Amino acid sequence: MPCMTAVVQTEGLTKFYGKRRGLEDLTLEIRPGEVFGYLGPNGAGKTTTIRLLLDVIRPTRGVARLFGADPRDAAVRGRVGYLPGELALEGREKASEYLAYLAGVRGGIGKGMIETLAERLEVDLSVRMGRLSKGNKQKVGLIQAFMHEPDLLILDEPTSGLDPLVQQEFLAMVREARTAGRTVLMSSHVLAEVEHVSNRVGIVRRGRLVAVEDIAALREKAVRKVELHFDAPVPEEAFRDLPGVRDLKIEGAALSCTIDGRPDALIKAAARFTVVHLVSAEPDLEEIFLTYYSEDVHHAHVGA
């Protein structure tokens, strides 16, 4: 059962590799039942954070807690399913044998879990691990992370190497985990991979957490490209200076613009004419996301 204390909690978590900064002063809380997207470019500190949380490496300063306990406690790690960013599977052992071994170390898992997951992800587990393709290794990694139905899933770049259909299946698995009340921390360098399943995203850059945002709030701020087609040419004045509307272009009966945040004003203005066609691209969260990278300013809702 998820408890009410934070599932993941860090305070001033810092890791230096010699003089090189891996992560500095990370303070973060992930609540029970939340899906948290952890974003940043390669080398920003995502994997360092995750390894600290799982006690693979030890902090230079600060603390990390899982379920209120030190991750050095083996029992706490038993409640976590972990997919490493660079999953190494090798040798002559069959994937099914390896999974059975992991299940055994974890004290047994639900009957048929491995087979069910293998079917969902469409992977043949009778193959020797050294012969698995990158994508299939990733699938085996996902199976071992999900198979014991852990309270917390920590997934480092889970979608890398998966083809789009399998990515969809994986996202469905994450949604199911969330519905079941589990907590998920997943990292990515692409927002698009996590935005549809995450409640919040944190953005890490050069070893520092620069922002934590609600996905819904981020979507409000999102830039959206909109095209409207009318049955007759429309006057430009009717759309000029609408709040949130930028890059307005009107050519005869066609209007195109970008919208910051809500499209409400544009829709109301357009309602006075006859709209025959409306195209609205998915809000480009990536674009907002990138503004965090291009600015050195701290957009702080850190620890919100």
Partner 1 sequence: MPMLVRKTLREYRRALIGWTIGICTFIGLYVSFFPQMRDNPDFYSQAALAKYPEGVRKLMGGLENFTSGAGFLQAVVYQLFVPLLFIMCAVILGNKAIAAPEESGTLELTVTLPVDRKRLVLERFAALAAGLLAVAVVSLTVLTVLAAAVDMDVPFGRILAAHIALYLLVLFFGTLALTVGAATGNKGLAMGVAGAYAVAGYVFTALSRDSQVMDVLSRLTPFHYYSEGNPLVNGLPVGDCLVLLAGTAVLALTAVLSFDRRDVGV
Q: Is 55 in the site for partner 1 (CB under 8 A)?
A: yes
- Please report how the helices 113-121 and 134-146 are oriented relative to each other, as an axis angle in degrees rounded to 10: 140
Q: Is 107 in the site for partner 1 (CB under 8 A)?
A: yes
What type of residue is 134?
K
Nearer to partner 1, 41 or 84 (CB): 84
The rounded distance, in Å, linking the Cα atoms of 8 and 149 is 17
82 sits near partner 1 (criterion: CB under 8 A): yes
Helices (H), ranges, the chain: 46-53, 74-77, 95-105, 113-121, 134-146, 164-179, 191-194, 215-220, 264-270, 285-294
Distance CA 162, CA 170 (A): 9
- CA nearest to 38, candidates 51, 27, 49: 49
Segment 134-163, which members bind partner 1 (CB under 8 A)?
A: 144
Among 102, 254, 269, 302, binds partner 1 (CB under 8 A): 102
Among 12, 43, 68, 91, binds partner 1 (CB under 8 A): 91
Rounded Cα distance between 206 and 223, Å, is 25
Size of the site for partner 1 (CB under 8 A): 29
Contact string (CB under 8 A) for partner 1, positions 207-236, x = contact? ------------------------------
Residue range at the interface with partner 1 (CB under 8 A); choices 102-110, 172-180, 211-219, 220-228: 102-110
Residues that bind partner 1 (CB under 8 A): 17, 51, 54-58, 74-75, 77-78, 80, 82, 84, 86-93, 101-102, 104-107, 144
